[in-house]
Amino acid sequence: MDIVHPDHYPQLITLLASLIIFTTFMMLAQGKLLTLINLFSLQGLLLAGTTAMVALITGNHHLLISAGLTLALKAIMIPWLLRYLVVRMRLHREVDPVENPVQIMLFGVSLVVFSYYVTLPVVQLSTLATSNMLAVSLAGILLGMLLMISRKQAVTHVVGFMTIENGLFFSAVVSTHGMPMVVELGIAFDVLVASVIFGVFFFQIRDSIDSLDVDKLNRLREETE
């Protein structure tokens, strides 16, 4: 197959985008922490693949560096770190239950539709064949947020947070051919530091409430007299 063919390239990108959204939906429905982390790793892999493909086809070779960074960070390092922490804290059998799965799925679907609606003016403007992928990436961001608000485990929150990052990165790659290099590097650095700090936090939270259920972090509220 000739992937440089004008019809094939958008199709391939669309395929990868739908796979990325699909992994996000799988995460929304997945309660087992280790499986969740594996799904996240798979998403990172898809993201790196997309970036590499865009780099090769459009000839923006600096994107190859971003692809490498994504592969190293999102597909290998962060999932490894999370897995290590989960095993170390003996949470590997832990299930973060999905409450009301049907409602959450339906809400997720409506978020995707909403993203298409919001990005409509941008899609009409852009000359890039892949511009309607902006809707997909916005959907990824919103679904990441949904993952965070529908769960209780700190680990799930971190995965949700990183899913949001993935959505942002995807939007930068497909709708702009990548941000300037200095910005890309800066963002990668921030993500790296954030994941380390999350690791530190797991221990701090466990020391203070003896679990990673962030719903129990409820001491600070507006007091009602």
Partner 1 sequence: MIAVYLILLISFVGMVVLGILGNQSRASKINVWFNAATLVVSLILALVVLGKGPILSADKLFYIDAFNVYLIVLTALVGLTTSVFSGPYMENERLHGRLTDRRLQLYYSMYQGFMLAMFLVLTTNNMGLMWVAMEGATLATVLLVSLYRTPEAVEAAWKYFILCGVGIALALFGTILLFVAAEQLQGLGSDGLNWTVLFERAAELDPAVIKIAFVFLLVGYGTKIGLVPMHSWLPDAHSEGPTPMSAILSGLLLNDALYAVVRSKMIVDKSLGTDEAGILMMGFGMLSFLVAVLLLSRQQDIKRLFSYSSIEHMGMMTFAFGIGAPLATFAALLHMTVHSLTKSAIFVTVGHATQIAKTQQMEKIRGIVSTQPGVGWALVIGTLAIAGFPPFGVFVSEFLVLVATMKSYPWLTLPLLFGIGVAFAGLFGKLHPMVYGPAPKGQQAVEANMFPVYLHLVLVLWLGLAIPAALSGWFVQATQLISGGAPF
Residues that bind partner 1 (CB under 8 A): 118-119, 121-122, 124-127, 134, 138, 141, 145, 148, 154, 157, 161, 164-165, 168, 171-172, 175-177, 179-183, 186-187, 189-190, 193-194, 197-198, 200-201, 204-205, 207-209, 214, 217-220, 222-223, 225
Query: Least CB distance from residue 171 to partner 1, whole Å?
Result: 5
In terms of CB distance, is 2 or 127 closer to partner 1? 127
Q: Residue 161: which H helix or E strand, with range? A: helix 154-176
225: how many CB neighbours lie within 10 A of its CB? Answer: 2
Residues in CB range of 209: below 8 A, 6 or more apart: 216, 217
In terms of CB distance, is 8 or 181 closer to partner 1? 181
In terms of CB distance, is 19 or 128 closer to partner 1? 128
In contact, 157 and 151? CB cutoff 8 Å: yes
List 153's β-bridge partners, or say none.
213
List 32's β-bridge partners, or say none.
95
Query: Least CB distance from residue 108 to partner 1, whole Å?
Result: 17
Shortest CA distance to 147 belongs to which of 135, 158, 136? 158
List 213's β-bridge partners, or say none.
153
Dihedrals φ, ψ of 220, to 5°?
Answer: -95, 105
Half-sphere exposure of 206 toward its Cβ, with a 13 Å CA cutoff? 16
Query: Least CB distance from residue 77 to partner 1, whole Å?
Result: 17
In terms of CB distance, is 4 or 193 closer to partner 1? 193
Q: Residue 167: which H helix or E strand, with range? A: helix 154-176
d(CA 52, CA 60) in angstroms, rounded, equals 10
Query: Least CB distance from residue 81 to partner 1, whole Å?
Result: 16
Query: Least CB distance from residue 174 to partner 1, whole Å?
Result: 10
In terms of CB distance, is 26 or 187 closer to partner 1? 187
In terms of CB distance, is 1 or 149 closer to partner 1? 149
In terms of CB distance, is 5 or 120 closer to partner 1? 120
107-138 as b/e: b if 16+ CB within 10 A: ebeebbeebeeebeeeeeebebebbbbbbbbb
Query: Least CB distance from residue 2 to partner 1, whole Å?
Result: 26
Query: Least CB distance from residue 30 to partner 1, whole Å?
Result: 20
